[in-house]
Amino acid sequence: MIIDDRHYDFIIVGTGAGGGTLARKLAEAGKQILILERGGAMALDEQNVASVDVFKRERYHAPEQWYDGDGEPFLPQTNYAVGGNTKIYGASLMRMRERDFTAVAHQEGMSPEWELQYADFEPYYTAAEQLYMVHGNADGDPTEPPHSEDYPYPGIEHADAVKPVVEAIAARGLHPRPIPLSLTRRDDDPTGDSEVFGIEPIRERENVTLLTSAKVTCLHTNASGREVKAVEAQVGKSSYLYTGDIVVLACGAINSAALLLKSANEKHPNGLANGSDLVGRNLMKHQMTSIVQLSTEANSGVFRRSVCMNDFYWGDSNFNYPLGHIQNTGGLLQDTIFAEAPPLLSVAAKLMPGFGLKQLAMRSIGWWVQTEVLPDPNNRVRWGDKGKLRIEFVPNNAEAHDRLVFRWIEVLQAIEKTVKGLKSAKVHPRAEAPIQVVAHQCGTCRFGSDPAHSVLDLDCRTHELDNLYVVDSSFFPSCSGVSPALTVIANALRVGEQLIARHG
Ligand SMILES: Cc1cc2nc3c(=O)[nH]c(=O)nc-3n(C[C@H](O)[C@H](O)[C@H](O)COP(=O)(O)OP(=O)(O)OC[C@H]3O[C@@H](n4cnc5c(N)ncnc54)[C@H](O)[C@@H]3O)c2cc1C
């Protein structure tokens, strides 16, 4: 074991939405920080084709196996690189709705109240939208919470193939709006992510040390068990020990929980900070379905996602519980088809003889429908025997999701009668996200003021270790119906402020 003789103000583990954002905040405050990232740099050409490959070719599945509740192995769709999952994400950065922070009744139970409310997060949402150059326009969205400042850039234009579709949706009394997107306005690397907006601006600073291919394997505590004394990491072929005043985990909800569990010691026999037995529990990931709408006219298949709808977010005329969020996914060449869903492609192929994958991509629009799942302590991450990472997850709130899918297909069928170039179809091929799709993972170390019912306090410090924080998507007490990244980024800015104040 090699002991690094430097001592840092902060050690941050992971460079995704949480870690990358926090690193920038702390570095700009002049703190000495060490950033440990298990992945390496993702080459620009890979990023440019990332969305093509994410779903179809399993290219960005992590090079490791996880196991489901039955012990069956699978390759998780998660990305280890500088920028983490934001290197392959859709960059749609939405605020949670104001009511999402309160207790909300769903058909299958209650989504719990957050102890901080929308007003507490609002200034950080605004700062996050500015930092990540979000292009958006929420006009007309009946669910949009108040913004203290407008989006810093206007929403993007719809592609030619999408414009008439959006008009037809609006003509039905619904409220399509531009989806808020993080964009750099750079030709070489257009999508904004936590490498571009978090790490790149600080990586040359003398107070920042970034080590890549540095996988943290264990956190060691002092004799009392009240502080992390050292962080152990595998860097290349060697093991190193690093020390810092404050250690912040940002490995993603599943990996941060796994690291806490596997760092169990005499003082923390069930895993670090796990006196509540909640580390790893309440794992959430959205119910998601992608739906294919065929058109009779070719389109390039490479347009961006640009529109979203929240008309059914809180329910429908015949269903008084939340249903969820809808967006288009861009051309199918770009996105949408889960690699693990060959039946989707075979359905499409059967429907249209002589119609291959390429043609499907050139004549279609993808839709993405997602519904909140409720926290369930039995949905959990376990660090099992022989170092196996196990994900026990049974999705809930299924009826709400099915209703949203069928409601959306009804809308698609209605607009197909009026929009020239859309194929009128009785059947719309669709695929549900399987266990491998852990894109929207969150909730494994929920925050709250009561140590018996939460892992982190409201500053995202572990209740049990004074110098250990978690700033990735683990802290969510509920997942809402919108995508998580903007809330992770905003929270990292919020916690960053607390950390700077604490460190002095
Ligand atoms: C295909 C896809 C599309 C998505 N689209 C959207 C979208 O459009 N909008 C949205 O809001 N969200 C989207 N998401 C989700 C979004 O990317 C995540 O919510 C967000 O990145 C979570 O941030 P995080 O900091 O929790 O973790 P991550 O971004 O996953 O970062 C974790 C980091 O920790 C590193 N790490 C893990 N373990 C270790 C270790 N032991 N040692 C050192 N480093 C480690 C990883 O390499 C990674 O860099 C998408 C995700 C995927 C996969």
Which amino acid, residue 19?
Answer: G
pLDDT above 90 coverage of the chain, percent: 76
Give yes or no for residue 9 CB within 6 A of ligand 1.
Answer: no
225: left (phi over 0), alpha (psi -120 to 50) or beta: left
Q: Which residues of 161-171 are buried (b: 16+ CB within 10 A; e: fewer)?
A: bbebbbebbee
484 pLDDT more than 60: yes
Is 69 inside a domain boundary? yes
Atom of ligand 1 nearest to the CA of 36: 43
d(CA 15, CA 250): 7
What is the number of domains present in the chain?
Answer: 1
CATH number at residue 147: 3.50.50.60
Q: What is the pLDDT of residue 88?
A: 87
Q: Which domain holds residue 35?
A: 2-41+61-503
Q: What is the pLDDT of residue 329?
A: 80
**Band (299; pLDDT cuts 50, 70, 90):** low
Mean pLDDT over all residues of the chain? 90
List Cα–Cα distances, 503 to 166, 246, 496, in angstroms.
50, 9, 10
Give yes or no for residue 38 CB within 6 A of ligand 1.
Answer: yes
Ligand 1 mean position to 157 CA, how many Å?
27
Is 372 inside a domain boundary? yes
Give yes or no for residue 16 CB within 6 A of ligand 1.
Answer: yes
Q: Report helix, strand or coil for 225.
A: coil
Arithmetic mean of pLDDT, 381-387? 89
Give yes or no for residue 472 CB within 6 A of ligand 1.
Answer: yes
Q: What is the pLDDT of residue 350?
A: 45
Asked whether 164 and 421 are in contact (CB, 8 A), the reply is yes
Ligand 1 mean position to 78 CA, how many Å?
7
Q: Tokens 């288009």: give the residue.
A: 328
Q: What is the pLDDT of residue 335?
A: 42
Is 250 inside a domain boundary? yes
Is 56 inside a domain boundary? no
What is the per-residue pLDDT across 29-77, written as a single tens digit (0 to 9) for each?
A: 999 999 999 999 987 666 655 444 444 455 566 779 999 999 999 999 8
Encoded tokens for 501: 């104040």
Give the residue, by CA position, lying nearest to ligand 1 atom 3: 89
- Nearest alpha-carbon partner for 14 in 177, 254, 181, 174: 254
Between 428 and 91, name the one with better pLDDT. 91
Beta strands at 2-13 and 468-470: parallel, antiparallel or unpaired:
unpaired
Give the residue, by CA position, lying nearest to ligand 1 atom 51: 439
Asked whether 259 and 389 are in contact (CB, 8 A), the reply is no
Atom of ligand 1 nearest to the CA of 483: 11
Ligand 1 mean position to 191 CA, how many Å?
15
Q: What is the pLDDT of residue 43?
A: 74
Give the residue, by CA position, lying nearest to ligand 1 atom 9: 92
Ligand 1 mean position to 178 CA, how many Å?
24
- Nearest alpha-carbon partner for 436 in 391, 403, 495, 502: 391
Q: What is the pLDDT of residue 82?
A: 97
Is 54 inside a domain boundary? no
Q: What is the pLDDT of residue 114?
A: 98
Give yes or no for residue 473 CB within 6 A of ligand 1.
Answer: yes
What is the per-residue pLDDT across 91-130, written as a single tens digit (0 to 9) for each?
A: 999 999 999 999 999 999 999 999 999 999 999 999 999 9
Give yes or no for residue 12 CB within 6 A of ligand 1.
Answer: no
Is 9 inside a domain boundary? yes
Asked whether 35 and 216 are in contact (CB, 8 A), the reply is no
